[in-house]
Amino acid sequence: MQKRILGKSGLEVSALGLGCMGLSYGYGPAADKTHALKLIRTAFERGVTFFDTAEAYAQGANEELLGEALQPFRDQVVIATKFGFQDGDASKGQDSRPERIREVADAALKRLRTDRIDLFYQHRVDANVPMEDVAGTVKELIQQGKVKHFGMSEAGAQSIRRAHAVQPVAVLQSEYSLWWREPEKEILPLLEELGIGFVPFSPLGKGFLTGAINESTSFDKSDFRNVVPRFSEENRKANQGLVDVLKQIATGLNATPAQIALAWLLAQKPWIVPIPGTTKLHRLEENIGAAAVELSADNLRDIDSALSTIAVQGDRYPAHLQARVAK
């Protein structure tokens, strides 16, 4: 697989990474451990060198899984993890106090079976902790050799600028896809200005852009999509037109809707690296195949033109979670 460099950081990774959250958390029951280890290692064998986890994904269990899976080839991969929630529990709210950041770093190093964290993200901006204190703490961890690069997730422009002035932000991770294009307004121009790489999470719209979900799909009771307004039965039906357009374009290019959605992201900027996640080996192979899909300028114009007539229905988060997205 081709490699990309995330902004001015010099951090080189595969053009597509692997988001590992769903193997342990968020989309129903955790995957069988043997299967999950095989999936992560298969991703590496197929050229993926960028793996994303967080303390908050099953309170460290996802980090432990990733640490075991990648230990045989640790020096050939880039591992990203995150701090920023109370007790590593996303339901408890933010905690980016300096002492907590240091605790999370030390615990993550053990769980990941490594001596350094390649990319350490603040999972969400903490309104109670000055951004300068957060960036300064990560700067100390970088000076100590425990962390290589500082990242932020779902942060707004003001927070990014404040952090970047203290410790250069290597990467921003936020949601971005054909059905959530908000970053194009303010965030992408800012990242280009500052030389910050961009890692879109949910690049397949939490699975919707694959075409495998429709209005009659039922989710496991522990799947967080049950509370996402965009995934109500009514909104799934209303949003089906977006997938229909993707299917038409994909057919003409001998690709799948998921591959078109990922290839579209890769075509936006050379410093964008999506991190699709999956629990299925055949979906992993499909996603990796997107890196070889070349979209021409005409293809991109056709996609934009077709989608400009479709208004996506439903908020991407329920109201109580939307408040966590920082300014």
Cβ-proximal residues to 32 (8 Å cutoff; 6+ apart), any chain: none
| 57 noted as active-site residue | yes
Q: Which two tokens stand for residue 83?
A: 């701090």
Element (H, E) at 200: strand 197-201
Q: What angle do CA 43, 56, 131 make, to 5 degrees?
A: 110
Phi, psi angle pair for 125, to nearest 5°: -60, 135
Task: Quote the CA–CA distance of 89 and 141 in Å, as a whole number.
Answer: 22
| DSSP one-letter string for 76-138 | GSEEEEEE-BGGG-GGG-B---HHHHHHHHHHHHHHTTSS-EEEEEESS--TTS-HHHHHHHH
Mode of pairing for the β-strands spanning 11-14 and 3-6: antiparallel
Query: Active-site residue among 27, 57, 121, 176?
Result: 57
Residue in the structure block whose two tokens are 């995150």: 82
CA dihedral 75, 80, 84, 86 (to 10 degrees): -70
The full length of the chain comes to 327
Nearest-angstrom CA–CA distance, 85 and 80: 16
Q: What is the largest CA-CA distance in the chain?
A: 54
Active centre residues (catalytic)? 57
